[in-house]
A = this chain, B = another copy of it.
Amino acid sequence: MYQCFLFIFLKRKVNDNVNIDSFISKHSKEALKNDPPGEWMPTIPDGCIRLSSGYPAPHLMPVEEIKAAVASLLEEEKDLPLHYLGSPKKKKLDELIQERLTQRGIQVSEEELLITSGACQAIDLIARILIDDQTLVAIEAPTYMEAIEIFQNYTHHFISIPVDEYGLQTDLFEDLLEERKRKGLSLPRFLYTIPTFQNPTGTTMTEERRKHVLELAVQYNFLILEDDAYGELYFNKQSTPLKAMDPDGRVLHVGSLSKVVAPGMRIGWTVAAPEFITAMAWFKKDLGHPFAQATMTAYLERTDMKERLETLRTTYQAKCSVLLSALEEYVPKSVSWYIPEGGYFVWLKVAADTSELLAQATEEGVSFIPGKYFFLNQEEGTGYLRLSFSYADEKDIVEGIKILGKVLREVE
């Protein structure tokens, strides 16, 4: 759909008597030069096995529970959740999220918390309050493609720091910062990082590197935007979020219920110093989502999340194992990957241009996301691809990897 929009945009710059282009704001024009949003999203034929989709497993979606939550909510509160304001559940959601954050080692007061329409809106609002058009932003290479899209709407000044199996390479980051400082170049205003079960690599930053990056933030005076969308989905042990190790408010922590409840409900949040939260709320003009938020509250009130998370962890760990075993069995020996300790993703290094590979793969019956979309400099990602073990069932995962193996062998 977005590609279709772009086509129209290029084709019809002048709409009869109205020169539309002349009305578009300067900063928007600059952003509109980027690739259109969602360009990374593959066209997936019916019946194709979706190893591209970072969606929760369909059978883990709480369909009946959401239905029951809505019924009980409207029984109890009548019209209140359907108004702009008025449902007592709004305040209750804040409390429930605060409780969840305690499980991640993060103590948060009401004025340090903002509920958003998913993590993406949180990242966008943070970008909005922090980025000027000359602001330098540090990101991981590779990183979450939606975050690249968002940041590029605000600035074209980036540094990318490579990620390896232990997460962000903080030594390389330090070298880069030191060099920029020595040369009198600007330093980043913030680092965007997904320290735990990163999207797309699935890797996790070691505790040592976490400490290091927090020291660097103090030394070089930058903020850290920590994306913790996958943090609760560990297979064996929990990692401490940067926010829980942050003594003086340098970390803006973003979380979401998308991966553990349902992305379609659009419930995410930011934890940050009250000044940042105030500024973000200033620009959040959707007036909240009373019905979705109240429904989620009613769902959480009726759900043993500890038990649910254990089910999710066990299920995703099993699916991950199935995918890893299938990789061992079916892909050429030249292909390598990191072993994730949680989350949704496995990141493959292959001897092929994965963008070119995609059409053939989907035709044969399996989808993935080509690596290039996860890099600011897309060429760096040519030989990589992201697989997700979250959505497809175990049988399809095996079948999908078989197909991928076949496709990869053909291009070797």
- Interface residue ranges, A against B (CB under 8 Å): 2, 4-6, 8-9, 12-13, 15-18, 20-21, 23-28, 31-32, 36-37, 55-56, 58-59, 61-64, 66-67, 70-71, 74-75, 78-79, 81-84, 87, 111, 116-118, 120-121, 123-124, 128-132, 135, 146, 150, 153, 189-190, 218, 223, 247-250, 258, 262-266, 273-279, 281-283, 285-292, 294-295
Contact = CB atoms under 8 A, between A and B. Distances in A.
Contacts of A264: 81-84, 87, 289-291, 294
A175 to B, nearest CB: 24
Report the copy number of this chain in the oligomer.
2
A71 B74 CA distance: 12
Contact of A120 (B31, B258, B282, B287): B287
Contacts of A123: 285
A290 to B, nearest CB: 4
A24 to B, nearest CB: 6
Given A20-B276, A264-B83, A282 B153 contact: yes
Given A13-B275, A37-B281, A275-B15, A286 B8 contact: no
A127 B276 CA distance: 22
Could you tell me the dominant secondary structure of chain A's interface residues? helix
A63 B74 contact: yes
Given A28-B129, A278-B8, A286-B121, A223 B74 contact: no
Contacts of A21: 275
A6 B281 CA distance: 11
A151 B190 CA distance: 28
A249 B248 CA distance: 51
B12 A274 contact: yes
Given A87-B264, A153-B282, A266-B291, 11 more contacts: A6-B278, A12-B273, A17-B218, A18-B249, A18-B250, A24-B275, A28-B129, A32-B279, A82-B265, A263-B290, A286-B286
A66 B55 contact: no
B66 A82 contact: yes
Which of A9, A59, A87, A265 is the most central at the interface, judged by chain B CB atoms within 10 Å of its CB? A9
Contact of A285 (B20, B71, B124, B262): B124
